[in-house]
Amino acid sequence: MGKVVLGVTVGVAVAACAVAALVVGRRVRSRKKWKRVVGVLKELEESCETTVGRLRQVVDAMAVEMHAGLASEGGSKLKMLLTFVDNLPSGSEKGIFYALDLGGTNFRVLRVELGGQRSELDPDVEHQPIPEQLMTGRSEDLFDFIASSLHRFVENGNDSVQSSIMKELGFTFSFPVKQTSVSSGVLIKWTKAFAIKDMVGKEVAGALQQALDRKGLNMRVAVLVNDTVGTLALGHYHDADTVAAVIIGTGTNACYWERTDAIIKCQGLLTTSGGMVVNMEWGNFWSSHLPRTSYDIDLDAESPNPNDQGFEKMISGMYLGDIVRRVILRMSEELDVFGPVSSRLYVPFALRTPAMAAMHEDDSPELTEVAKILQDVLDISDVPLKVRKLVVKICDVVTRRAARLAAAGIVGILKKIGRDGSGGITGGRSRSDIKMRRTAVAVEGSLYTQYTMFREYLHEALHEILGEDIARHVVINVTEDGSGTGAALLAASHSSSGSVDNIQLV
Ligand code: ADP
Ligand code: MG
């Protein structure tokens, strides 16, 4: 009996030891694994590092590249495209004008009534998603779709579609275009999710005009502009100190007001105003100072446009979620912190930026939104709190870098036009000698307007780079639907009734 008791006791003790060893072993392994996870996170943080010193290098590189792009055709990855927009809306425009805005996830149709005095604008706007198959199909189908939407919009607004009075239309087309006049231009290449082969090298406004004519709409494409130019027009309409406009949405780009004599590649360009809006196509900016990670390299290599739009791929809404997905995938594959590797993690763009932003901004103590999105979007369940915190940190690192780089780009423009308080590219004068003029930058795009953390990081970096004394002279104005409304304003200021051709090439 005693032996049996002893035997059972020894047996229990051995089993307890084995269990304890197993638990300790697991803990050690899990601690080691966690250390490796932290290592991957640290590596990400280091390669995304944007110290003020590094941002200032990006500022300088941007200003230098702008110069190079203005000096000669193909002189820089920045195309610095002429827009032929040589004056911005003054407020005296009158009448009903229409605009189409094509270039992002949503396509917009607008109508705005102008009373001849600068006032709050209240455009009618209709948003419509572009069916995916039209983004990669035939150009005629895309333009017919657009013309039909406009036709419906005009009818619903009780305007007669076949009215005997021709309506003027502003067309915002947010892809790189080589303009030949303010109302015509040739598509250089597609970006973002668009890839309609038969359109590259073709006249864009002409293709739209033909579709409008096919539909029997009595409308004339009065201006063909980039979304940044529309944004600048609206920004300037409301605040005459506006010198540049930046879009941070699905993609990213900027334009600004430049003196014609600085546009060296176009010798003899004369405008009445002495200036012209230049569309930078800054999404394609590149510099060795940009903090690049292995995730960026993979994203680029697997994209339909490798080696293109490098700045955009680090900054804009189309890509941020996918960078985060790649980091989570690596951690999941190599370190098994997310349980069995979810097949959703292999799907490109499975994690969209709005979902990533929602995780980043989840302020619930248990990070319930993070858990929900991991489950619903990426099919990853039962993630412990510590791993959910890790996901938030990854989102933070990726967004902070993006926002700070966008800020550096903005300061690059200010530097190029001598509004950063440093005396321009050539420098020389000390900061204290410079009398800073109030300078406004118009910003549009949901990444900036809808993503609070992004916006705050951008503002913080602007202040860090410029210093408080200079930064207080720089204001960022959000323009709502500026890319479209601005095009309607430009259609008005360039309408056939009132326009004089102010541009000469001598
Ligand atoms: P577009 O650039 O397509 O003209 P927007 O300026 O509205 O249109 O930008 C849309 C992009 O902004 C989306 O593709 C998405 O990446 C990003 N976005 C939209 N909403 C949010 C959000 N709440 N948080 C973060 N990013 C967002
Ligand atoms: Mg847009």
Q: What is the signed CA dihedral for 482, 485, 489, 492, rounded to 10 degrees?
A: 160
Burial code (b: 16+ CB inside 10 Å, e: under 16) for 190-205 equals bbbbbebeebeeebbb
Residue 317: CB within 6 Å of ligand 1?
yes
Distance 448 CA to ligand 1 centre (A): 8
pLDDT band at 405 (very low <50, low <70, confident <90, very high): very high
Compute the residue count for the chain.
506
Give the rounded distance of the alpha carbon of 78 from its chain centre: 16
CB 62 within 8 A of CB 414: no
What does residue 252 show for φ and ψ, rounded to 5 degrees? -140, 145
What does residue 185 show for φ and ψ, rounded to 5 degrees? 180, 160
Nearest Cα to Cα of residue 235 among 247, 248, 245, 225: 245
Write the pLDDT tens digit of every residue in 297-319.
999 999 988 999 999 999 999 99
pLDDT at 499: 43
> What is the arrangement of strands in the sheet containing 219-225, beginning at the earlier edge strand?
124-129, 106-115, 94-102, 167-173, 219-225
Query: End-to-end CA distance of the chain, in Å?
Result: 116
Distance 445 CA to ligand 1 centre (A): 6
CB 238 within 8 A of CB 262: no
Distance 281 CA to ligand 2 centre (A): 14
- Judge whether 362 counts as a catalytic residue: no
Mean pLDDT of all residues in 446-454: 98
pLDDT at 5: 54
Write the pLDDT tens digit of every residue in 362-372.
999 999 999 99
Residue of 60, 86, 101, 227 with catalytic role: 227
Partners of 109 in the β-ladder: 100, 126
Nearest Cα to Cα of residue 447 among 438, 439, 456: 456
pLDDT at 55: 98
Q: Report the amino acid identity of residue 71.
A: A
Mean pLDDT of all residues in 193-222: 95
Partners of 442 in the β-ladder: 245, 477
Q: What is the signed CA dihedral for 319, 320, 326, 328, rounded to 10 degrees?
A: -150
3-state secondary structure 31-50: HHHHHHHHHHHHHHHHHCCC
pLDDT at 435: 75
Is the pTM here over 0.85, yes or no? Answer: yes
Residue 353: CB within 6 Å of ligand 1?
yes
Distance 358 CA to ligand 2 centre (A): 21
pLDDT at 115: 87
Q: Could you say which ligand is closest to the alpha carbon of residue 356?
A: 1
Report the sign of the C-alpha dihedral through residues 345, 350, 355, 360, in that order: positive
Residue 484: CB within 6 Å of ligand 1?
no
pLDDT at 255: 98
Q: Which two tokens stand for residue 463?
A: 């202040």
CB 253 within 8 A of CB 247: yes
pLDDT at 498: 46
Percent of all residues in the chain with a pLDDT value above 70, rounded to a whole number: 89
Helix (H, G, I), strand (E, B) or coil at 401: helix
What does residue 316 show for φ and ψ, rounded to 5 degrees? -90, 165
- Judge whether 192 counts as a catalytic residue: yes
pLDDT at 321: 98
Report the sign of the C-alpha dihedral through residues 189, 106, 304, 252, in that order: positive
Say how far apart CA 371 and CA 365 lie, in whole Å. 12
pLDDT at 433: 52
From 227, 247, 446, 448, mutation site for ligand 1 pocket: most ligand atoms within 8 A of C-beta: 446
Percent of all residues in the chain with a pLDDT value above 90, rounded to a whole number: 76
The mean-pLDDT minimum among 4-13, 85-94, 222-231, 258-267 falls in 4-13
Write the pLDDT tens digit of every residue in 102-144.
987 779 999 999 988 887 888 999 999 999 999 999 999 999 9
Q: Which two tokens stand for residue 91?
A: 């407020």
Residue 269: CB within 6 Å of ligand 1?
no
**What are the DSSP calls for 144-187, one per residue?**
HHHHHHHHHHHHHTT--TT-SSPEEEEEEE-S-EEEEETTEEEE
Say which residues have a Cβ less than 8 Å from residue 316's Cβ, sequence separation at least 6: 248, 249, 250, 251, 252, 283, 402, 447
- Distance of CA 301 to CAs 297, 399, 417, Å? 6, 21, 35
Helix (H) or strand (E) holding 496: none
CB 55 within 8 A of CB 464: yes
Residue 136: CB within 6 Å of ligand 1?
no
Q: Tokens 């229409």 — which residue? A: 98
Residue of 167, 192, 313, 415 with catalytic role: 192
The mean-pLDDT minimum among 154-168, 209-223, 323-337 falls in 154-168
pLDDT at 13: 59
β pairing state of 94-102 and 106-115: antiparallel
The mean-pLDDT minimum among 296-310, 412-426, 435-449, 479-493 falls in 412-426
Say how far apart CA 366 and CA 364 lie, in whole Å. 6
Nearest Cα to Cα of residue 459 among 496, 410, 395: 410
Burial code (b: 16+ CB inside 10 Å, e: under 16) for 138-165 equals ebeebbbbbbebbbebbeeeeeebeeee
Average pLDDT, the chain: 90
